[in-house]
Amino acid sequence: MKRRIVVDRGRVNDIAHVLNLTRETVSRSLNYQSNSMLARKVRFVAKSQYDGVEVGKD
């Protein structure tokens, strides 16, 4: 299984709204398709504020 961060349904939209990003940007960040500073920030916010859980292997 690929590495990704799983959040509750609808939380991707919430994260996108709070960080003023598109839903696609948040989704790519949570699926590790991007590793920019912004993507790292999205993953941090998802884990710390939206109870995101990292699953999968490197």
Task: Return phi, psi of residue 4, to 5°.
Answer: -165, 170
Each residue of 7-20: pLDDT tens digit?
999 999 999 999 99
pTM of the model: 0.93
- The pLDDT value recorded for residue 1 is 79
Structure tokens at 53: 């859980």
CB neighbour list of residue 21: distance below 8 Å, 6 or more residues apart? 15, 38, 42
